[in-house]
Amino acid sequence: MKTTPLRTPRAARSAQSGDRGMMSSRAGAAVVGVKPASEKLLSPRVSASVQRAAAQVLEQLSRQHRPALRELLQPLYLQAAKSNCLRADAVSIWEIAGETVWLPRFHFQRTSVVKDRIKVGIFAGIHGDEPAGILGLMDFIRELDETPEIGRDFELWLYPVCNPGGYLAGTRHSPSGKDLNREFWRGSQEQEVRVLEREIQARQFDGIIALHSDDTSPGFYGFARGDVLARQLLEPALKAAEVAQARDVRPVIDGFHAVNGMIYDSYDGILSAHREQKPQPFELILESPAVSPLVEQRRAFSLALASVLSEYRKFIAYGANL
């Protein structure tokens, strides 16, 4: 598939005026668990404009302000505009209480060579009050673009803000008061769920990864849903994340039986593939401890995601040699 570098997407440009209103009306919205942190996450190769945009996001977060969508995503939009492997657009654009919001989507493919690629969807921010996953996925997208080798053999579909209304309001739930992560494949009327279900059906992912934060957990942990493979990917991912975050090793986490930070059960209605998709993708949920410094949670997500791609690539290569 040809990857065309995009300008700042139409969604972002048309939302510009609305964003200003959002900023003033949301100026008091506190970001839970955010502590000031220096920006250690940008590689020196990143352009000055991306650095500036990223610094602005961080500066707002350090003042306990929640940047508007366009400002939050600006570093990635600038990066995508100059990239040969990263594209930016929106899954859907709609209005919430007169304000334009959109569900941003990024697409990564290392080269434009036509070949079979492993298709993985990575989703963050389905709970609007969990900024670490949003920022961690944004960091990972930047890393992919700076070091495309991380994403070799993959076609990645990346959705950093799956509940834009909840993010802007600083709430777990959607603006209509629903926990979106209990609504999937149950005939939900929630806009975010409907467009994500369509997206998941259309892409038929080989893997689905969702990022969350838990404010009752002292460490990083994860859920592996379905097959043995998901479990085999989760252990190395948690191990990789340990560089930034200790693992939650309690025997019971969030009410579920856990082994060394791994849970093999889940709630119903979570973001996942349709149960009739064949073959079923591997499905992982990564959970960061919301009480720990944001910079550490972000790093843990980046490290864990890179590990999943690398381990899955090894698995596919091994399978091909059988």
- Do the Cβ atoms of 98 and 165 come closer than 8 Å? no
Dihedral sign computed on CA atoms, order 22, 170, 105, 154: positive
Nearer to Zn ion by Cβ, of 11 and 134: the residue is 134
Nearer to Zn ion by Cβ, of 9 and 125: the residue is 125
Full DSSP string of 101-157: EEEEEEEEES-------EEEEEEE-SSTT-HHHHHHHHHHHHHHHHSGGGGTTEEEE
CB of 127 to Zn ion, least distance (A): 3
CB of 46 to Zn ion, least distance (A): 29
**Residue 278 to residue 201: CA distance in whole angstroms:** 11
Q: Which range binds Zn ion by CB under 5 A, 68-76, 145-153, 204-212, 271-279? A: 204-212
CB of 192 to Zn ion, least distance (A): 14
Nearer to Zn ion by Cβ, of 59 and 215: the residue is 215
Nearer to Zn ion by Cβ, of 50 and 258: the residue is 258
Q: Which of residues 239-298 bind Zn ion (CB under 5 A)?
A: none
Q: Which range binds Zn ion by CB under 5 A, 58-66, 122-130, 193-201, 270-278? A: 122-130
- Measured in whole angstroms, the distance separating CA 169 from the mean position of its chain's CA atoms is 18
Nearer to Zn ion by Cβ, of 130 and 283: the residue is 130
Q: Which range binds Zn ion by CB under 5 A, 128-136, 195-203, 220-228, 259-267? A: 128-136
**Residue 198 to residue 113: CA distance in whole angstroms:** 27
CB of 130 to Zn ion, least distance (A): 5
Contacts of 113 (CB under 8 A, 6+ apart): none
Q: Which range binds Zn ion by CB under 5 A, 18-26, 108-116, 127-135, 147-155? A: 127-135
Nearer to Zn ion by Cβ, of 240 and 290: the residue is 290
Nearer to Zn ion by Cβ, of 130 and 143: the residue is 130
Q: Which of residues 31-70 bind Zn ion (CB under 5 A)?
A: none
Using rule CB under 5 A, residue 127 touches Zn ion: yes
CB of 129 to Zn ion, least distance (A): 8
CB of 210 to Zn ion, least distance (A): 8
- The mark string for 205-244 relative to Zn ion (x by CB under 5 A, - otherwise) is -------x--------------------------------
Burial of residue 320, with CB atoms counted within 10 A of its CB: 0-12 exposed, 13-18 middle, 19 or more buried: exposed
Nearer to Zn ion by Cβ, of 71 and 130: the residue is 130
Q: Helix crossing, 131-146 with 294-320: angle to 10°?
A: 50
Half-sphere exposure of 317 (CA within 13 A, CB side): 9
Q: Helix crossing, 69-81 with 16-25: angle to 10°?
A: 140
Full DSSP string of 26-93: TTT---TT--------S-TTS-HHHHHHHHHHHHHHHTT----HHHHHHHHHHHHHT-SSEEEEEEEE
CB of 275 to Zn ion, least distance (A): 21
Interface residues toward Zn ion, by CB under 5 A: 127, 130, 212
